[in-house]
Amino acid sequence: MNLNRFLEKLFGIQSSTWAEGGQWSAQWVGLPSGDRMLFLILGVVVLVAGGWWLYQRDARQIPLLRRCLLYSIRIALVLLVIAMLLEPILVLSKEEKIPSHLLVLLDTSQSMSLKDAWQDEERAMEMARSLGMSSDVDVLRRMNRLQLAQKMVTPSFLKDLSADGKRTVHLHGFNDKFNPEALSDSEEWRAGGNATAIASSLRQALLSYSGMPLSGVLLISDGQSTSGEPPEEVLQMLSDEGIPLVAVGMGTTDGPRNVAITELEVSPVIFVQDANQLTVHIESRGMQTQSATLLIEQRRNGGPWQEFIREDVVLNLEGQLQPRTYQFTETKTGKVEFRANIIDAGPEISQDDNLASAEVRVIRQRLNVLFIAGSTFPEVQFLRNTFLRDRQINLSTWLMAADKTYEHPGDLPIRRLPVTQEELNDYDCVILYDPDPNGWPVNFPELLTNFVTKAGGGLVYIAGEMQTASMFDHQSDPTLDWLNLLPVIREPGLFRSQVQIRLSARSPWKLDVTTQGVQDPIFNFASDRQANEQLLKNLPGMFWHFPVTKAKPGATVLAVHADPRMRNEYGQEVLIASQRVGPGWSIFIGFDSTYRWRYLNEQLFDGFWARVVDRAGRSKQLGGNYPFRLSMPQAQYQPGEQAKVVARFLDESQIEPGLQRLYGEVERGDEQPIPLTLTEGNQRGEFSTNFPVPSPGTYFVRVWMGDEAAGASVKAATMPIKVEFPNQELQNPTLNQAYLETMSSSTGGRVYQLSETNDIVGAFKIKEVSRFLEERQEIWDAPIFYILIFGLLVTEWILRKWCRLI
């Protein structure tokens, strides 16, 4: 130490504080090498030899000792100059021990937010014990991968990694890129990011800590690298630097397993004695071909739960919805609750979504009916009387031909027609007998249209001899737009002469009930098929009818005229037709003499009209909804796929016999809607179609009943469909053990499980590393050189003076 201080003072240098205790050495910056070094040596030898030769020749009279002294001084001067020209420097160096750096990289992508089922019970118990959960497997299964990682990376674990300060531990998160901000072990970690780039994040981490001595990298991940560069180059970089990569595998090779009941679908309001459907929608992940038990229970009016269905099911492919449909009938009014539960499915990430419930209100079928008649007629009298006798109907009547003092009979008497939408929507069905629209409130046609197309009400129109022909002849009048609700078309110019009318009315003509009419419930006079057909043949005929051109597309023709003369280019003239108009129902009856059926049996007349009212008004009482439900076989779709929409009728009796297709459209943003046509498949009551979804976003599907053009004016059944780019984080979220082993083994590391936390610390061998500190200072211009040169020159001058050489 004293020598170093002496040299520092001698050469005029001052070392840094870190050099305390270091060593010094000299180096020559200008010292040549190779041939130049040889020339330098030869030059020095020549100078030494030449100098001696000159002193031998010119100073022979001087004693040898003095001559040698002068020669030595001269050679010292030359050597000092040469030394200064070779640029000597003084190097102060010191070796010290410093902590190495250990990188802990934690995967924070979405796949780390998943919970594993841990099917292997023994391994699950071992894992729970190693994480301090006292073998509580249920707690383990309730924690996601990131929570388990935080359970492992405790302050004590980080302290063990630091080896009592001999390593500096840096904890960082990554997903699709490396996060340079350090993670705090005292805060709750949250998963995010739709991709995992293990190799790219590893490279970015190494660049962030370039120049620092690394003892290794600890990677905590499930090994699912869904983006970024391939790992070969960055692994070679680690291998060349001798940096081991140690991995901790998160999750299980089975991945998340889960089954859920996404919906328990049932009509919220049903009628007593009606056949109804209950549908359970099941969705599963990672449980293909796995068996489970579906248990459905029901209770009535808050009583005890009773088993309704217990069935073994085999779970479908991941991402596919699996509907299970069951029939039920209620005989009493009240409240019925259903709950469905998936049991015996084995370990899964959560059982909270295995249960779903629904509530149903069971009511008696008592419909509110508004009967508007344009004039008196036997049909009007008999209809009014049968509706008043029917205890399933609350009747309001309005006779337009009556004077102001007339009290209109009914269960719910009225003094005027409805003038607001709320008033009209209190009814379930409106029956019009040959009305005169001129006697209606001004806004009544609009109210009637909304009543059918928006609220789902029923409209029954009975043609009469006084007003019907005049209305259809002026159907282009905007105030008569409501005629478009009817399921028939009467082309302009269609008329019959009085002679034709008299000829057709000379004798009664039977109804020719179509095949669809035989299948329709309104013509169900007897439970026995043969008996019912005989009753239909014996129904008394009609004299007068109102001719129309044809039925609308999509309408169901229930009966046509049996007179072979009553036909046109479309076939026999239509007498009875029905059609859905949006959620509502429209029925056209082209004659006004159903009262004649009473001559055969009064119950035929009463039963027919009870079923007509029931058919027309049922939808309105059930909330104005369509009798079908929209669904799709997949939970979501990817851009470029073909999406499928399914309309499934809950009650087959609600399907019109002539219904062959449903119409709809699909919308996305402000783009032009794409028309859809849903056709019936192999399964009765199920209509479906496919359509492309080229870009991501939310698509809205609208489906209605009626003709194709009705979609602009009716309330449609709607369903959103999500189209998203595939989230690769959730497509195959299992532990990729092979990927982690490939990465770690190529760098001299290995893969550990969570249960091996105590062994991870020993995988890193490097603790402190040596660091050489060096300070270089030039001394060729140090004062000592100038002092020596000056001193030697003065000494030589004095000696030469003494020897009388000058």
What residue numbers bound the domain in which 587 lies? Answer: 367-621
In CATH, what number is assigned to the domain containing residue 153? Answer: 3.40.50.410
Beta strands 584-589; 574-581: pairing state: antiparallel
| 26: Cα separation from own chain's centroid | 71
At residue 50, the pLDDT reads 81
At residue 317, the pLDDT reads 64
Q: Where are the alpha helices (DSSP H) in 393-480?
A: 421-425, 444-453, 468-473
Cα–Cα dist 115/517, whole Å: 57
Residues 6+ apart with CB under 8 A from 474: 480
Cα–Cα dist 550/553, whole Å: 9
Beta strands 334-343; 291-300: pairing state: antiparallel
Residues 383 and 238 in one domain: no
Residues 325 and 300 in one domain: yes
At residue 52, the pLDDT reads 80
Cα–Cα dist 421/239, whole Å: 80
Residues 751 and 666 in one domain: no
Cα–Cα dist 734/558, whole Å: 59
- Look up tokens 């006798």; give the residue: 389
Within 10 Å of residue 539's Cβ, how many Cβ atoms? 22
Beta strands 367-373; 393-399: pairing state: parallel
Cα–Cα dist 717/649, whole Å: 12
CB 220 within 8 A of CB 153: yes
At residue 12, the pLDDT reads 65
Q: How many residues does the chain have?
A: 806
* Closest listed residue to residue 788, CA positions, set 41, 8, 11: 11
The count of domains in the chain is 5
**663 SS3 class:** strand
Distances (CA, A) of 217 to 206, 224, 246, 618: 9, 18, 6, 70
Cα–Cα dist 437/424, whole Å: 16
* Closest listed residue to residue 147, CA positions, set 192, 179, 190: 190
Cα–Cα dist 768/140, whole Å: 37
Q: Which two tokens stand for residue 438?
A: 């001129």
- Look up tokens 């190529």; give the residue: 746
Residues 89 and 71 in one domain: yes
Residues 122 and 237 in one domain: yes
In CATH, what number is assigned to the domain containing residue 728? Answer: 2.60.40.1930
At residue 185, the pLDDT reads 75
- The CA-based angle 7-12-18, given to 5 degrees, is 70
Residues 431 and 386 in one domain: yes
Q: Which two tokens stand for residue 531?
A: 């008996």
| 185: Cα separation from own chain's centroid | 31
CB 115 within 8 A of CB 149: no
At residue 17, the pLDDT reads 60
* Closest listed residue to residue 457, CA positions, set 586, 552, 578, 557: 586
Phi/psi of residue 562, each to 5°? -85, -15
Long-range pairs for 158-163: beta carbons < 8 A, 24 or more residues apart: 158/104, 158/185, 160/761, 161/102, 161/104, 161/218, 161/760, 161/761, 161/764, 162/99, 162/102, 163/761, 163/767
Phi/psi of residue 220, each to 5°? -115, 110
At residue 16, the pLDDT reads 62
Residue type, 555: A
Residues 404 and 533 in one domain: yes
Residues 554 and 449 in one domain: yes
The helix (H) or strand (E) run that includes residue 693 is strand 686-693
CB 86 within 8 A of CB 31: yes
Beta strands 641-649; 245-249: pairing state: unpaired
Residues 110 and 242 in one domain: yes
Q: Which two tokens stand for residue 433?
A: 């007998």
Distances (CA, A) of 753 to 148, 154, 417, 759: 12, 16, 79, 10
Mean pLDDT by 10 residues, the chain (806 residues): 62 62 74 83 83 75 78 83 82 81 93 84 85 79 88 90 92 93 86 88 93 92 90 92 93 82 84 84 81 92 90 78 87 87 81 86 84 94 94 93 92 94 94 95 95 93 93 89 94 61 67 90 89 90 90 91 88 93 92 91 91 88 78 83 88 75 88 91 89 89 82 82 77 85 91 87 86 74 80 82 74
Q: Which of 584, 606, 621 is the last residue of a domain?
A: 621
First to last CA, the chain: 46
Q: Per-residue DSSP letters for 129-196?
A: HHTTSTT-HHHHHHS-HHHHHHHHS-HHHHHHHHTTTTEEEEEEEESSSEEEEEPPTTS------S--
CB 621 within 8 A of CB 677: no
Distances (CA, A) of 699 to 101, 497, 690, 713, 718: 52, 54, 13, 20, 10
CB 563 within 8 A of CB 509: yes
Within 10 Å of residue 621's Cβ, how many Cβ atoms? 20
At residue 21, the pLDDT reads 61
Cα–Cα dist 321/281, whole Å: 6
Residues 467 and 506 in one domain: yes
Residues 6+ apart with CB under 8 A from 247: 218, 219, 220, 221, 223, 740, 741, 743, 744, 749, 750, 751, 752
Cα–Cα dist 696/200, whole Å: 27
At residue 11, the pLDDT reads 66
* Closest listed residue to residue 242, CA positions, set 718, 690, 769: 769
Residues 8 and 67 in one domain: yes
Q: Which of 621, 654, 674 is the last residue of a domain?
A: 621
Cα–Cα dist 772/236, whole Å: 27
At residue 638, the pLDDT reads 85
Residues 86 and 137 in one domain: no
At residue 337, the pLDDT reads 92
